[in-house]
Amino acid sequence: MELAADSTSEGAGWLLQGTGRQRLVVCERTGTWAVALRRELDERVRVHETRSLGQCWQVLADAPASFLVVELTDDNVDALLERLIWHQRDFPLARLAVVAERGLAAYEWLVREAGAVHFCCSPRRLKPLADLACRHLELIPSARQTLVERIWAELPWGEE
């Protein structure tokens, strides 16, 4: 694992190369998208849930090569767009997808232009998103772990 300083990135201060620290994180208010995504993943990947953009970015700071699925709402449009714009600079190995209710479908091309790799308005159509997330997580090299670390990471409460 190698860390390189990056003077252009004040928020992160580093670029990660081969980090092995990645998660699938779903940031939403209700849990609906996480449940639907778990159904599509069929236990291939563990889903970590957060309830706010602040919590989501804390998880991202701890696991900077993660795949984020963030819910777009009327209340977080501005904050999410700002984070989308800067996430590629601060977390170059992370990928971010956006999910939203059908009433917010008009934002699709705006969030894609800001950096989202996927946009979805239906919890019933998450297979492409699940496949994209799995592919991203498989491409990030895994960090070497001791036997105890591997067992602890597999426990449902391991990171709590």
Instruction: Tell me the per-residue pLDDT of 9-63, one tens digit each, with 9 for 90 and over.
Output: 333 333 334 344 789 999 999 999 999 999 999 888 999 999 999 999 999 999 9
Query: What global pTM score does this model have?
Result: 0.78
Q: Would you place residue 130 in the very low, low, confident or very high pLDDT band (cuts 50, 70, 90)? A: very high
Going from the C-alpha of 40 to that of each of 37, 51, 129, 130, the distances in angstroms are 5, 21, 9, 6
The string of DSSP letters for 61-73 reads HHSTT-EEEEEE-
Residue range(s) defining the domain that contains residue 124: 2-150
Q: What is the Cα–Cα distance from 118 to 98, expressed in whole angstroms?
A: 6
CA torsion sign for 37, 53, 64, 61 is negative
- Does some domain include residue 87? yes
Say how many domains are in the chain. Answer: 1
- Does some domain include residue 160? no
Q: In CATH, what number is assigned to the domain containing residue 100?
A: 3.40.50.2300
Strand partners, 24: 47, 67
Residue 15, pLDDT score: 37
- Does some domain include residue 159? no
pLDDT digits (tens, 9 = 90+) for 74-102: 999 999 999 999 999 999 999 999 999 99
